[in-house]
Amino acid sequence: MAGNYRAYLLRKAFGLVLTVLFITILNFVIFQVLPGDPTRFLVPRGGGGPSDVIPPGIESLRRLLIHEWGLDRPVYERLGIYFWNLLHGNWGTSITLKPGTDVWTILLPRTVTTIVFIGTATLISIWLGVRLGRIAGSGRGGRADAIILNTSLFLYSVPTFWLAMALIFLLSVYAPILPTGGETSPFLETADFLSQIVDRGVHLLLPVAAFVLNNYAIFTLIMRNSLTEELSEDYMMTAKAKGLSSFQQLRRHAVPNARLPVATIVALYVGWVFSGAIVIEVVFRLNGLGALTYDAVVARDYPLLSALFLVGTMGVVVANTVLDIAYSYLDPRVTEA
């Protein structure tokens, strides 16, 4: 058994290394084949006349930037430099959004905002989805099941931007209870630490609500369907024959086994924490990774985009690897495959 577990861990570690290597190469290649020239954002064509002739001074400055950024080097040489810089913690500098600024200087404060926002919203979505899925699955075909199922499917199918704007209209315009967006109130910038924390929490209520309402359904549906299957298994009949109550059958046998498929989706959502929620962050004007991705796409800031995509994909890969290891504890049979 111990040998099987060690072999399982080695396979997962080897697969993680290969996946990270493939993602890193793919991340580099994607931004090499993208259309457009980032130098055009800093150095316009100028003139604007009918002949559309580029002034010599501007063109020489553009060639200087291309050489400075290494865009005139062969692809294989740029790939080697890219790997070398990554290994030394140098993920590049912003070239259009905040020219000359180190990528990590831009990413770190945005990452904190996204982790607080998406992390909190993800945990609430998981908890709410699993609880509702348990209620629906244990009473499949009943009134509670129909209400939970239809409500979850409706909210899951609603476009995110529409749901976010509807919440703003209801709770910020029609009934001005919560702020429309942003992270803090300007008049509280000089307030004490506790007041600033409370103010930030109030500003996150609507974004978190929009995320939860739009995402909890996936956990509800998977938990419901998984629990329904478990309740029809033979071992549940054995538990009933032992004299266990319906609540004991659910808590001791059905629910623990039904949670296993939910763990896969949990890992994906936890990995997506580092990708942000682009639509929600843009609508509510949150300075997170999602809004930063949108700004970087508009500005065609390739080094910043490359770092954002790499962080997001690495989050998903690492989260899935951790899930595989945790899954081996929940169900030891996977190490024997």
55 DSSP assignment: P
Q: Could you report the per-residue pLDDT of 72-115, keeping only the tens digit for each?
A: 777 778 888 888 888 888 888 888 788 778 888 898 888 888 88
Among residues 306, 308, 314, 309, the alpha carbon closest in space to that of 32 is found at 306
Residues in the chain: 337
Q: Could you report the per-residue pLDDT of 134-189, keeping only the tens digit for each?
A: 888 888 888 888 999 999 999 999 998 899 999 999 998 888 888 888 877 776 66
Contact in structure between 62 and 105 (CB atoms under 8 Å)? no
Cα–Cα distance, 172 to 114 (Å, whole number): 22
- Please state the domain extents for the chain: 2-87, 103-336
**Topology classification of domain 103-336:** MetI-like fold (1.10.3720)
Contact in structure between 160 and 249 (CB atoms under 8 Å)? no
Cα–Cα distance, 225 to 133 (Å, whole number): 8
pLDDT band of 57, cuts 50, 70, 90: low
Among residues 306, 325, 310, the alpha carbon closest in space to that of 97 is found at 306
